[in-house]
Amino acid sequence: GAVVSQHPSWVICKSGTSVKIECRSLDFQATTMFWYRQFPKQSLMLMATSNEGSKATYEQGVEKDKFLINHASLTLSTLTVTSAHPEDSSFYICSAHKGGAPNTEAFFGQGTRLTVV
């Protein structure tokens, strides 16, 4: 199967700083990647769709200036949590679909546990 690698797996940062999370498709090209947020014991909430070479598409209620997404290549998307606050602490997961079609099998990164202190 395809591999999606997410880095870092966990990060602790001070309130007010920014944190960058990387999502890489290791053995396939992904024109589209997806970023999810997961609260404890809850399902995944789609935050945004990352599109290679163009702006990301954000879901309703997600602040695009807070969660900056860059998809500069066919194998890398980054999520930057800007001016992080404790309420941004969460588990963030990315996914990608082979060929980019969102209606096909999703391959997930390992997730990033962000703790803002």
| Minimum distance from residue 83 beta carbon to other proteins (Å) | 26
76 binds other proteins per the rule CB under 8 A? no
42 binds other proteins per the rule CB under 8 A? yes
| Minimum distance from residue 21 beta carbon to other proteins (Å) | 12
E strand or H helix that includes residue 114 = strand 112-116
60 binds other proteins per the rule CB under 8 A? no
* Closest among 3, 4, 1 to 77, alpha carbons compared: 4
Beta strand spans in 1-111 (E): 4-7, 10-13, 19-25, 32-38, 44-51, 57-58, 67-73, 76-81, 90-97, 106-108
13 binds other proteins per the rule CB under 8 A? no
34 binds other proteins per the rule CB under 8 A? yes
| Minimum distance from residue 55 beta carbon to other proteins (Å) | 18
